Amino acid sequence: MDNSKLIETVKKRAQSWLDGNYDDATKAEVRQLMSNEEAMIEAFYKDLEFGTGGLRGIMGAGTNRMNIYTVGMATQGYSNYLKKCFAHKKQIKIAIAYDCRNRSPLYARTAAGIFSGNGFHIYLFESLRPTPELSFAIRHFGCQGGIVITASHNPKEYNGFKAYWEDGGQIIAPHDHNIIEGVNQISSIEEVKYNGPENNIKLIGKEIDNIYLGKIHELSLSPEAIKENSEMKIVYTPIHGTGVELVPKVLQKFGFTNIINVPEQDVVDGNFPTVVSPNPEESAALKMALEKANLLDAELVMATDPDADRVGIAVRDLSNEFIILNGNQTGSLLVYYLLTRWAELGLLKGKEYVCKTIVTSELIADISNKFGVEYFDVLTGFKYIADIIKQNEGNKKFIGGGEESYGYLAGEFVRDKDAVMSCALIAETAAWARSKGKSLFELLIDIYLEFDFYKESLENIVRKGKSGAEEIQEMMNGFRNNPPKSLGNSEIMKIHDYLSQKSFDLQTGKESSLPLPKSNVLQFFLKNGSKISVRPSGTEPKIKFYMSVKMPLPHKEDFSKAGKQLDGKILAIKKDLGIL
Query: Angle at Cα 502 formed by Cα 496 and Cα 504, nearest 5°?
Result: 60
> What is 479-505 written as a DSSP string?
HHHS--SEETTEEEEEEEETTTTEEEE
Return contacts of 427-430, CB within 8 angstroms, 24+ apart. Answer: 427/226, 427/232, 427/234, 427/251, 427/254, 427/256, 427/300, 427/302, 428/220, 428/221, 428/222, 428/225, 428/226, 428/254, 428/337, 429/333, 429/334, 429/337, 430/229, 430/232, 430/299, 430/300, 430/315
What pLDDT shows up at residue 539?
Answer: 66
Question: pLDDT (tens digit, 9 = 90+) per residue, 211-220?
Answer: 999 999 999 9
**pTM for this predicted structure:** 0.96
- The yes-or-no verdict on residue 1 having pLDDT over 60 is no
What pLDDT shows up at residue 434?
Answer: 98
Cα–Cα dist 202/341, whole Å: 40
- The yes-or-no verdict on residue 13 having pLDDT over 90 is yes
State the Rg of the chain over Cα.
24
What pLDDT shows up at residue 52?
Answer: 82
What pLDDT shows up at residue 467?
Answer: 77
Please list the active-site residues: 152
**Considering only CA atoms, which of 316, 335, 343 is closest in space to residue 426?**
335
Question: pLDDT (tens digit, 9 = 90+) per residue, 43-96?
Answer: 999 999 898 889 999 999 999 999 999 999 999 999 999 999 999 999 999 999
H helix or E strand, kind and range, residue 322: strand 322-324
- The yes-or-no verdict on residue 368 having pLDDT over 70 is yes
Residues 346-355, mean pLDDT to the nearest whole number: 98
Average pLDDT, the chain: 96
Question: Residue 400: pLDDT band by 50, 70, 90 thresholds?
Answer: very high
Cα–Cα dist 143/342, whole Å: 32
What pLDDT shows up at residue 566?
Answer: 97
**Domains of the chain, CATH where assigned:** 69-204 (3.40.120.10), 212-451 (3.40.120.10), 453-577 (3.30.310)
H helix or E strand, kind and range, residue 237: strand 234-237
CB 7 within 8 A of CB 41: yes
